[in-house]
Amino acid sequence: MAPRTLYQKIWDSHLVETDDAGTGLIYIDRHLVHEVTSPQAFEGLRLAGRQPWRVDANLAVPDHNVPTTDRAAGISDPISRAQIEALQSNTREFGITLFDMDDVRQGIVHVIGPEQGATLPGMTVVCGDSHTSTHGAFGALAFGIGTSEVEHTLATQCLWQKPSKTMRVTVDGAVAPGITAKDIALAIIGRIGTAGGTGYVIEYAGEAIRNLSMEGRMSLCNMTIEAGARAGMVAVDQTTIDYIKGRPYAPSEAQWAQAVACWSELHSDEGAQFDAEVVIDGADIQPQVTWGTSPEMVIAVDQAIPDPAGQDDEVRAAGMRRALEYMGLDAGTPISAVNVDKVFIGSCTNSRIEDLRDAARIAQGRKVASNIRVAMVVPGSGLVKQQAEEEGLDQIFLDAGFEWREPGCSMCLAMNADRLEPGERCASTSNRNFEGRQGQGGRTHLVSPAMAAAAAVFGHFTDIRGL
């Protein structure tokens, strides 16, 4: 057999059939469900008198709307509450497992899947959420879908898909100390652009990727959608297998050896052809900060905000001018001279235990700067929160003046009460700096957890390498 990419292998092992137009019917192993993109899908099933094809493939959790303050009071916003109640009644009606708000396993859907071992190598994983790309860290094919496809997955356990092109992004050599997966992801997006991966599935390779923990690989694959690619993947290695062992949904003892043998094939073969190749030198990557309203508008922490006047492409220059105006910034200003008002540490990109440890290391023994109105830490799940508390991280944050919250999507997209006010500037570990993403008129700068914590304690963007 000709050498195959990892993507091709998973495609082949899930291909039910191909239609005349060359579209494949792909079997879906895992379907993750949350409250925002599922109600209309369940309603569609009901209207058509259909049942889920395979109930045990689904796992549901409320995350986008949940309050991150005291849960005992319930949800004060009646519309948010109704959406979560709809998830509760829909999962009850159709027999789907739900990690409800009072369950310690509740959290952001892309945190809890891997945490539970519900995301496994070689799987096809979908969810009505673009950051489903996160799960590709396990050598899985994972991508976000819309609500019609949520309904299609529920009803048929399959999706019609065109084969994607493949791109390999190789980060050669090791990265410098303090450089995280988030910096790698932003540097890649800065290089290829937010549409650079459109139509592709990206496989990440190279020494810097192999050196990443599973949590780092999740952060990297998570951000793949911000490069335009629906899915990002990392080949399975011992790091992957060690992470999965013993998790609740992982294969049983009896099946473990067989599963590991199967997973050991989940890498691109020597000589496999990719449709595009990008190579980045890991040593060149510095702490990244976005300055604009698209993740591709990104610079290193020691750089100045770029000038649209230097651009040849008029559409691009107009976009930059618009972004500068929205962000309230001037070209030429060093990004380290920019003060922030709020700090958000959390989201499906950066809310896992290693992220919180990175941030706590910077916060320890320091105080949140006086110009910071709120600095909040929102763990990715109840279990992450529990572990952080066992390690004393909550106390480090609280002593420094951060708020310690309950798990959820929170201010990444501001569907709950956590949001920016118009004009407020935020150092955020989330994934999107779009206009209004964290609240209408809010100004978002994407950074790593350590960089966000540094912005909190110094009041402006600060190079963590000097700390």
| Binding positions for other proteins, 307-346, rule CB under 8 A | 315-316, 318-319, 322
Between 238 and 252, name the residue whose CB sits nearer to other proteins: 252
Q: How far is the CB of 96 from other proteins (least distance, A)?
A: 12
Question: What DSSP assignment string belongs to 351-381?
Answer: -SHHHHHHHHHHHTT----TT-SEEEE--SB
Burial pattern 426-436, b for ≥16 Cβ within 10 A else e, equals bbbbbbbbebb
Task: Return the residues of window 108-147 that contact other proteins according to CB under 8 A.
Answer: 120, 122-123, 128-130, 132, 143-147
Measured CA angle at 169 (ends 163, 174), to 5 deg: 150
With helix as H, strand as E and coil as C, how does 379-428 read?
A: CCEHHHHHHHHHCCHHHHHHHHCCEECCCCCHHHCCCCCCCCCCCCEEEE
Residue type, 51: Q
Between 36 and 464, name the residue whose CB sits nearer to other proteins: 36
Task: Return the residues of window 350-369 that contact other proteins according to CB under 8 A.
Answer: none
Task: Return the residues of window 424-453 that contact other proteins according to CB under 8 A.
Answer: 432, 434-437, 440
Between 20 and 70, name the residue whose CB sits nearer to other proteins: 20
Among all chains, which residue has been given the structure tokens 């604009």?
292
Between 25 and 283, name the residue whose CB sits nearer to other proteins: 25
Beta bridge partners of 154: none
262 near other proteins (CB under 8 A): yes
Burial pattern 260-297, b for ≥16 Cβ within 10 A else e, equals bebbebbbbeeebebeeebebebeebbbbbbbbbbbbb
Between 17 and 270, name the residue whose CB sits nearer to other proteins: 17
Tokens describing residue 463: 């190079």
Of 72, 73, 79, 261, the one binding other proteins (CB under 8 A) is 79
Q: How far is the CB of 144 from other proteins (least distance, A)?
A: 4
Beta bridge partners of 334: 304
276 near other proteins (CB under 8 A): no
What is the 8-class DSSP label of residue 283?
A: G
Q: What number of chain residues touch other proteins (CB under 8 A)?
A: 82
Q: Give the helix, strand, coil percentages of the chain, each rounded to 5.
A: 40, 20, 45
228 near other proteins (CB under 8 A): yes
182 near other proteins (CB under 8 A): no
Residue from 237, 236, 231, 249 nearest 112 by CA: 249
Between 156 and 213, name the residue whose CB sits nearer to other proteins: 156
Task: Return the residues of window 385-424 that contact other proteins according to CB under 8 A.
Answer: 413-415
Task: Return the residues of window 232-251 that contact other proteins according to CB under 8 A.
Answer: 250-251
Q: How far is the CB of 149 from other proteins (least distance, A)?
A: 7
Between 111 and 175, name the residue whose CB sits nearer to other proteins: 111
Beta bridge partners of 408: none
What is the 8-class DSSP label of residue 230?
A: S
Task: Return the residues of window 279-308 that contact other proteins according to CB under 8 A.
Answer: 294
Could you tell me if 370 and 407 are in contact, meaning their C-beta atoms sit under 8 angstroms apart?
no
Binding mask 7-46 for other proteins (x = CB under 8 A): ------xx-xx-xxx-x-x-x-x------xx-xx--xx--
Of 4, 9, 64, 110, the one binding other proteins (CB under 8 A) is 64
> How far is residue 185's CA from residue 209's CA, in Å, rounded to a whole number?
11
80 near other proteins (CB under 8 A): yes
Could you tell me if 205 and 170 are in contact, meaning their C-beta atoms sit under 8 angstroms apart?
yes
Q: How far is the CB of 466 from other proteins (least distance, A)?
A: 33
Q: How far is the CB of 299 from other proteins (least distance, A)?
A: 17
Between 169 and 179, name the residue whose CB sits nearer to other proteins: 169
Q: How far is the CB of 113 from other proteins (least distance, A)?
A: 14
Task: Return the residues of window 154-173 that contact other proteins according to CB under 8 A.
Answer: 155-158, 160, 162
Q: How far is the CB of 25 from other proteins (least distance, A)?
A: 7
5 near other proteins (CB under 8 A): no
Measured CA angle at 319 (ends 318, 324), to 5 deg: 100
Binding mask 192-211 for other proteins (x = CB under 8 A): --xx--xx------------
